Amino acid sequence: MTTPPADLTAPDADLIAALAQAAIADLPAAYRMAALQVALRIEDFASDAMLAELGCESPFELTGLYEGTPLTEKSVSDQPLQPDVIWLFRRAILDEWIERGNVTLQELVGHVLVHELAHHFGWSDDDIAAIDPWWE
């Protein structure tokens, strides 16, 4: 019988945030600084209001969400009502990570983050593929 690892604690919000920050640091320089201007929030699950607005039946359906105005739609004359935010939902991410079983947690967090940044930057599918090799 093998001995289980001493620390069986699930990855916490701080680790998810650190993995997301590492993914931002790995972005091409042209996007890195702008990505750092988007607030990053880690929660276990999306709020009931978020889930209802998106038509999600289960909180496990949503791993991330961008709230804000995409850069392609912003004007210098606009007064921001609130900061742009990327939400990462820890429990939904961990559930997908376990279910997949073939990617690292860093890869999955990076993928979710890049997908949400795509909404912020207005990236096309080709832009996303150039930055996130997820689909290779």
**pLDDT computed for residue 14 by the predictor:** 95
- Each residue's pLDDT expressed in tens, for the chain with a length of 136 residues: 666 666 678 899 999 999 999 999 999 998 999 899 999 999 999 999 999 999 999 999 999 999 988 777 776 666 667 789 999 999 999 999 999 989 999 999 999 999 999 988 888 888 888 888 765 5
Catalogue all structural domains in the chain, each as residue range(s) with its CATH number: 13-68+81-131 (3.30.2010.20)
CB 31 within 8 A of CB 130: no
pTM for this one? Answer: 0.86
